[in-house]
Structures are given as C-alpha cells and as structure tokens.
C-alpha cells in the first residue's frame, strides 16, 4: 500500500497499536462534536492529493480535502468538529470507519489509492455510581492542588502560574499557566503525579482551554500542539509539530475534553504540554485546566 493513515506519532514501519477514542458524556452538548488529529503518509513516487472522510451509524461526517503531499512525505492534520452526532443516553461503544483517499490531480477526480482504518469510540459516564471518584481537582479552594508548572522551551519572565477566574468550568477558579515574554517558540506543561488504584478500569478526564494573554505590545500568536504524556511517553497528540507558520493547529479559546485510560497500581506523572508560536514581545501562550478527575472501577 502506497498510502497510510495513522492516529499517533508512531511512524511506519512500526505497527500502530489499535486506536481507541474515549469520551465522557457528562455535561457534553447535544449534539456533540468529534475532533481528531490524523497523520497521513505518501509512499508513492509522485505527489498525491489527499482526502479524508468517515462513517459510523448516527454520525454526520464531513469530507476534507487535505491538499497535496509530495512523494515520501507525511503530514499531520487536526480535524476540529469533524463529526457530529446526538449524545448517547448511556455508556456505549461504537466503531468509526475512516477512509483516506489519494488522487493524482488537484481536482480530486483521478483516484489512485484508498486506505481504510477502524477506530473504536468508548463512551463513559463519569458520574455513574459504579465508578469511584479517586481525584477531583477543581481548584475551587483557591490552590493549585499539587499541580506544577514547567517551561520546556521559552522563558519565565513575566510568566505566571496559579488559580484564575477568567475562564472556569466550575466556579470560582480554574488552574492557569502563562508563559514568559519574547520567545517565538513556547513549550510548557502543567503536571501532577498520581498513584493509580489497582482496578481494571481507570480514566483521567481533563478539561483544557488553550489561548493567549496579550500584554502592552501584543503580536499574533498561534497554537501548534497539545499533548498528554504519562511521564515522557506521549498518549495523546493534537495538532502538528512546531513551526512558525501563521496558522492555528489546535482549537483555541474553547474548552477541550480529553479522556485517557490509566495503568493500574502505578505512580504516573500526568503532563499536559502546550506548544505555541508567538510573533512579538509580551504575547503569552496560556493553558487553563479545570475539573480534572480520576475515576475507577473493577
């Protein structure tokens, strides 16, 4: 096969493990939207024009033309609000069939390759009595509740970390981390180490908002990447690798919910990593976190 579709940063020829999307029903809008980040590969000897769509009972999906990709290259694309469906009434599981097509022409008329991949979706209901609420970090006591802030690339001049009231899901506070001044590339994280229970099902649920706080001489900033890491291992990758292109690669200025299963009976450093590009002095990439939960059951 001369094209391939993946949902992780694991490159060929290493086999990609089966991929599952986890979603929490609580407080989602109805209908609810689905966004995913894909990575697609052109193993052909010519430039191809890629297109992506999907199908699953109850969903409405768009068809997205991804543009050209040269021979031997690969690319990431975040498909925000790619699908829509009525919110399920209870926990359930479904399978989405993604179809990647490659054409030899910019008009998407001469189809050369088709690649199909199934991705399971598991819906959970975090307030179901069968779950134990092991952690509930809502920051409403006015503290950071054990979370830490680390700058990986950039500086800490005029940075800040603490609770805030500007964007919250549960009043009065959320956690907010803001990077420093005058760095085009900014990568930073908020993190906390948790000891997971010894149970068969354990989930972390994080509500994250990405944006920018602008100072006296603001520039034009852009989102690039949001990652969830367990220690240094990437579990979720949204967006694209860092570049200085004037484009957002991850949704900004709205809350994103991320659900990830956790390993049992381990100490895990959960890291939420945000990378951004800022074009001018006193433009501060910022991450907000609220209503972080860990739930579990046998």
CA distances in angstroms from 209 to 54, 55, 86, 146, listed in the order given: 27, 28, 24, 19
Each residue's pLDDT tens digit, 9-67: 889 999 999 999 999 999 999 999 999 999 999 999 999 999 999 999 999 999 999 99
- DSSP state at residue 180: -
Q: What is the mean pLDDT of the chain?
A: 95
Is CATH 3.90.79.10 the right assignment for the domain spanning 3-124? no
Domain locations along the chain: 3-124, 132-297
Radius of gyration of the chain (CA): 20
Looking at the domain covering 132-297, what would its CATH class be? mainly beta
Identify which of 259, 268, 264 has the alpha carbon closest to the alpha carbon of residue 125.
259
The whole-number average pLDDT for the span 113-117 is: 98
pLDDT at position 279 over 90: no
Token pair recorded at residue 8: 């992780």
Strands 20-24 and 111-124, sheet pairing: parallel
User: Which H or E element spans position 80?
Assistant: strand 74-85
Each residue's pLDDT tens digit, 137-189: 999 999 999 999 999 998 888 899 999 999 999 999 999 999 887 678 999 99
If one counts every other C-beta atom within 10 angstroms of the C-beta of residue 71, the result is 12
The SS3 assignment for 73 reads coil
pTM of the model: 0.94
């Amino acid at each position: 096969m001369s094209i391939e579709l993946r949902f992780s940063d694991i490159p060929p020829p290493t086999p990609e493990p089966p991929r599952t999307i986890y979603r929490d029903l609580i407080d989602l809008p109805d209908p609810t939207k689905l966004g995913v980040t894909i990575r697609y590969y052109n193993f052909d000897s010519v430039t191809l024009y890629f297109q992506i769509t999907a199908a699953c009972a109850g969903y409405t999906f768009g068809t997205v033309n991804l543009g050209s990709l040269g021979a031997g290259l690969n690319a990431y694309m975040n498909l925000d609000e790619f699908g829509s469906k009525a919110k399920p009434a209870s926990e359930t599981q479904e399978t989405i069939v993604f179809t990647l097509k490659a054409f030899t022409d910019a008009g998407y008329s001469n189809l050369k390759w088709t690649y199909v991949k199934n991705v399971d979706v598991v819906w959970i209901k975090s307030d179901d009595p069968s779950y134990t609420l092991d952690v509930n970090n809502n920051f409403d006591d006015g503290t950071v509740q054990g979370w830490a802030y680390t700058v990986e690339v950039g500086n800490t001049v005029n940075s800040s970390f603490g609770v805030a009231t500007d964007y919250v899901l549960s009043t009065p506070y959320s956690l907010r981390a803001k990077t420093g001044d005058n760095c085009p590339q900014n990568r930073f994280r908020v993190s906390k180490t948790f000891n997971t229970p010894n149970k068969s099902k354990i989930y972390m649920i994080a509500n994250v908002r990405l944006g920018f706080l602008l100072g006296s001489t603001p520039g034009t900033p852009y989102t690039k990447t949001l990652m969830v890491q367990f220690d240094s291992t990437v579990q979720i990758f949204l967006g694209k690798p860092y570049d200085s292109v004037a484009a957002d690669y991850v949704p900004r200025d709205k809350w994103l919910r991320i659900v990830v299963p956790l390993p049992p009976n381990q100490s895990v450093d959960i890291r939420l990593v945000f990378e951004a590009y800022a074009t001018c002095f006193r433009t501060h990439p910022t991450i907000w976190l609220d209503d972080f939960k860990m739930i579990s059951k046998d």
